[in-house]
Amino acid sequence: MLLPKEQNIGVAIYCDHCSIALKPLSSLCFKRLILDFGIYLVGTQEGLIHKSSFSEVHSFLATYKKHIGSVNHIEWSPFRPHVFLSCSRDETVQMWKQGRPVMTFKSIHQGPVIFVKWSPNCSTLFGVVKEDQVEIWDLNLSILFPTIVHHAEPGVRLTSLLFARGTDCVLVGDSNGQVTVYKLKNFRVCKSTQVKLLYMK
């Protein structure tokens, strides 16, 4: 697959279950639309998010701008099509709906956000990874502050996060190749997947 020619830096990306060699482009992340694998988003070093299609190789369908630092990760909502999160070196997480930024999340703990992940169990829950800490955001409780902040051990750099489906456990990967399983205290697995937040309807 070739991306439209707009930038000048090449990169190869592994996404989901396919390896993709990209045309020169300062791309950092790639995500396919859950309900339509022909549509994908590309995050760039310039803070832009490009929407494109496998059938359209000569131009982008749209370009979204909100971040002021490189876009490190993009994550579609498992509950609402066309709702996604993006995170950046500008220390923020952005929530988007149909290409429009609808909310910005930034904790008081400084540091670039390298990874963001929706919970498959609860539509208002997502996790954020910074190099030295993990944050769990529950939007039913607060849209201003993370509900949980857990700091890494000294010298350990965190890299990724995954919510275990059907449980209240979170798996966190680090630069030492270790995966640590955490149990979320005082959290219960959502019994309903209904999205109740007004800005996501």
**Residue 27 pLDDT > 60, yes or no?**
no
High-pLDDT (> 70) share of the chain, %: 74
pLDDT top residue among 111 and 31: 111
**Residue 94 pLDDT > 90, yes or no?**
yes
pLDDT at 6: 44
**Residue 176 pLDDT > 60, yes or no?**
yes
Please name which of 83, 81, 50, 82 lies closest in space to residue 67, comparing C-alpha atoms.
50
Question: CA 107: distance to chain centroid?
Answer: 16
DSSP 160-195: EEEEPTTSSEEEEEETTS-EEEEE-TT----S----
pLDDT at 31: 65
Which tokens hold the place of 32? Answer: 């396919």
Identify the band that residue 185 occupies on the pLDDT scale cut at 50, 70 and 90: confident
Q: What angle do CA 102, 147, 48 make, to 5 degrees?
A: 35
Quote the mean pLDDT of the chain: 81
Confidence (pTM): 0.79
In angstroms, rounded to a whole number, what is the distance separating the alpha carbons of residues 161 and 127? 7
**Residue 35 pLDDT > 70, yes or no?**
no
Query: For the segment 45-68, what is each residue's pLDDT rounded down to a tens digit?
Result: 999 999 988 777 677 889 999 999
**Residue 140 pLDDT > 60, yes or no?**
yes
- What domains, with CATH codes, occur in the chain? 1-65 (no CATH), 83-200 (2.130.10.10)
In angstroms, rounded to a whole number, what is the distance separating the alpha carbons of residues 189 and 121? 6
